[in-house]
Amino acid sequence: MEDCLFCKIIKGEIPSSKVYEDDMCYAFNDIDPKAPTHFLVIPKEHIPSAAAITPENSVYVAHIFEVIAKLAKEKGMDKGFRVVSNCGESAGQSVFHLHFHVMSGRDFTWPAG
């Protein structure tokens, strides 16, 4: 997707602070962190949102959650962390390339904040 911000980040056309990368996904620090640790994990395939997950592309989602568990262990996020995917404008999605926010380092409230 030529005009997609996160596709450009994957290609290195826009700089980012890399946390992890493999052949299926890329993880980088959020530019506007909402917790002491806040990074995004994105598939290397352009999937617009959680509403566009299908049997054909869900392998990316499964893989991303394996990566999140691995990174959480490596980064000592053992007190807890939150994984969020905003889907659609009313849910607060602002970049339409599927991404999972991984946040840690503070207490979180539920359902908001």
> Per rule CB under 5 A, is residue 38 in the interface with Zn ion?
no
Pairing of strands 18-21, 25-29: antiparallel
* Helices (H), ranges, the chain: 5-11, 58-74
Residues 3-22 that bind Zn ion (CB under 5 A): 4, 6-7
Cα(47)–Cα(79) distance, rounded to whole angstroms? Answer: 31
The verdict on whether 46 is a catalytic residue reads no
Q: Which two tokens stand for residue 36?
A: 């002491």
Nearer to Zn ion (CB atom), residue 25 or residue 77: 25
Identified binder of ligand 5GP from the candidate list 57, 95, 105, 108, rule CB under 6 A: 95
Cα(111)–Cα(35) distance, rounded to whole angstroms? Answer: 16
Q: Catalog residues that contact Zn ion under the rule CB under 5 A.
A: 1, 4, 6-7, 46, 97
Q: Catalog residues that contact ligand 5GP under the rule CB under 6 A.
A: 5, 14, 16, 28-32, 40, 86, 92-95
